[in-house]
Every structure is written in C-alpha cells, then in structure tokens.
Structure 1
Amino acid sequence: MTEKQDAAPPAITPKTPAPRPDAPAGSGPVPAPTSAPRPVDEHDDEHLDEEDYAPRKVRLTLSRIDPWSVMKMAFLLSIAIGIMIVVAAFVFWYALNDLGVFTSIDETIRKIVGTESELDILQYVERDRVVSLAMIIAVVDVVLMTALSTIGAFLYNVVAALVGGVHMTLTDD
C-alpha cells in the first residue's frame, strides 16, 4: 500500500460558531456541540440524529404585497374556479335530468295551474341555457375576484405601512 492510503483521514476541527438567526443581537455565538461531529456520508441519512439538528426559527414581517403578482395569481385561480363552476353546472344538470326532476316539476306545476297554462318549465332549464348562465357567472366571477384581490393587495400595503404588517415566525421542521 502507498503512504497516502495508510494515512488516517484529516481531523475535523470545529469552526467558530455562527450567531443564531433567532437570537437577539449581541447575544453571542451559538454554543459548540458537546460531542465531536462525526463524518457522515451524504447518502447515509440513518446516522443523522434529530437532536443534532434543532429546527431554526425565523421571525419575519410581511410588510408589502406586490399587487401585480396578486392580480396574476387571482386571475389564474379565478379562471380555475370559473371552469369548475361550468363543469359543476353541466354535471349537476345531467344528474337532475337523468333523475327526472325537471319533468316531475313540470308535471306538478301543470297539475296545480292546469293544462291550459302556457308556462313551460322545461324550456327554462334546457342544458344550453343552464351552461350559458354558468359561463356568464364564471366570467363575472373572474372579473370580480381579480379586481377585489388586487384592491385587497393595495389596501394591505396601505394598512401595513401604518401598523407595520403581519409578523410571523417560520420554522424548518
């Protein structure tokens, strides 16, 4: 064997501990671990002890929200909700039609009003009318949700400038 292969691996020397991010300023560095760290293979997660790595806590303040990003996000989410409204209306109409709910309601109204009445419920609950109404509701939903979300972001920025925003503590568990 060569001399390099017989030599022991280099000793791990502890570095100066860095200050903790959640500690108050000037509180000093993080205390060194009581036991010497051991070399760990990067693919070997079994040797990592939970007590060696405590979750960090970081206190952050949400002081401003970008209205443009809120508008884009709200627009895309409201498009998805609009599609769900149209699909749900379509499926709901087919379920009620297959169960015979519309014809049952029409027969009941004809019994109450009489057969000479020109009131025809079935013409108001046609599939095309129901889906068209759902599409109109979906378009209104897209416009309103996008506008209200963007206005909400502007209002949050104004209020956050006055009171400082939302304080939160994040951890990495």
Structure 2
Amino acid sequence: MSPTGTGVKARPDLGAPRRIRLAVNRIDPWSAMKFSLLLSLAFGIMMVVASIVFWNVLDGLNVFTEIDAMVKDILGEEAEVNILQYVELSRVISLTTIIAVVDVVLLTAIGTIGAFLYNVVASLVGGLHLTLTDD
C-alpha cells in the first residue's frame, strides 16, 4: 500500500536520472572493418599532409641546406655527398604515401581481427557490461 492509502504506488521522481545496464556481447566484424578503414584513411591523409607541411617549414628555415653545408665541411669539398637530393619534396611525399598505404592496410586488418577476438572472448566471459545514465 502507498502512504496515501489508495493502493497506487507513487511515481518515482521524474527529474532523477535513469540508469540502464547493458552488455556488449558482440561486435560486427564488417562494421569494425568499415570503421577502422575510414579511421585509418583519415590518419593516412593526415600523415601525408603533415609531412608536406613539416618539409615546407624545414625548407623555409633552410635546415636542409645547412645540413648539406655541415656535411661538406666535415667530409671536405671533394666528397660527393649531396644531402639535398635525398630530402627532395617528391621523395618525402612518395615515402610518406607508401607508409600511409601500408598503415591503412595494417590498421584495417588489426581492427577487424580485434573485433573477431573480442567476439571470442565475449562469448567466454559474457562481454563488456556498461551502466548508462541520462543526466
């Protein structure tokens, strides 16, 4: 019986946050692959753009010519070492693009394999339990 004696239970406070317990029992591997592919593509593009900006800053500060001059001072003028040919912008972009493509493939594979491994472990231990509230 309720305190009013009518037999109807009093409603809980409507302003109080609700709490919901959930369990993540399975991650769809196809969804995890798509998510990790898009995230790694964004990371790869960011890596290429960052390397171009970094190279332009170093070139604007004449770091490469100073390093080349220092190497020639150390080895002498007769040494045929030209540092500038190894740090050209086209070479830096090519190397960064190759690294980014390998990174996209590896991160996508790791994300997909991670989803499969989570599914195996979740079937053994029951998954990840979460408590959500709506503050």
Structure 1 length-normalised TM = 0.71
2 CA distance for matches of 1:32 and 1:127? 69
Bigger proportion of residues as helix: 2
Higher CA-based Rg: 1
Give the secondary structure class of the aligned counterpart of 2:79: coil
Within-5 A mapping of 1:26-45: 31-32=10-11
1 CA distance for matches of 2:11 and 2:86? 77
Using the aligned pairs only, state the percent identity. 62
Unpaired segments ≥5 residues, structure 1: 1-16, 18-29, 34-50
1:22-41 superposed Cα distances (whole Å, 9 cap, x missing partner): xxxxxxxx7326xxxxxxxx
- The one-letter amino acid paired with 1:167 is H
Task: Please report the RMSD computed on the Cα atoms of aligned residues, expressed in angstroms.
Answer: 1.4
2 CA distance for matches of 1:169 and 1:32? 23
1:96-141 superposed Cα distances (whole Å, 9 cap, x missing partner): 0000000000000000011111111000000000011110111011
Which structure carries more relative contact order (alpha carbon 8 Å, separation 6+)? 2
Q: Which residue of 1 aligns with 2:66?
A: 104
- The one-letter amino acid paired with 2:42 is A
Offset at residue 52 of structure 1 (A): 3.7
Q: Which residue of 1 aligns with 2:21?
A: 59
1:134-161 superposed Cα distances (whole Å, 9 cap, x missing partner): 1011101100000000000000000000
1 CA distance for matches of 2:105 and 2:132? 34
2 CA distance for matches of 1:145 and 1:72? 11
Offset at residue 172 of structure 1 (A): 0.8
Q: Is structure 2 residue 42 aligned with structure 1 residue 68?
A: no
Aligned residues: 128
1:86 counterpart (35, 39, 48): 48
Question: Which segments of structure 1 move beyond 6 Å, counting only runs of 4 or more?
Answer: none
2 CA distance for matches of 1:141 and 1:32? 55
1:132 counterpart (94, 108, 120): 94
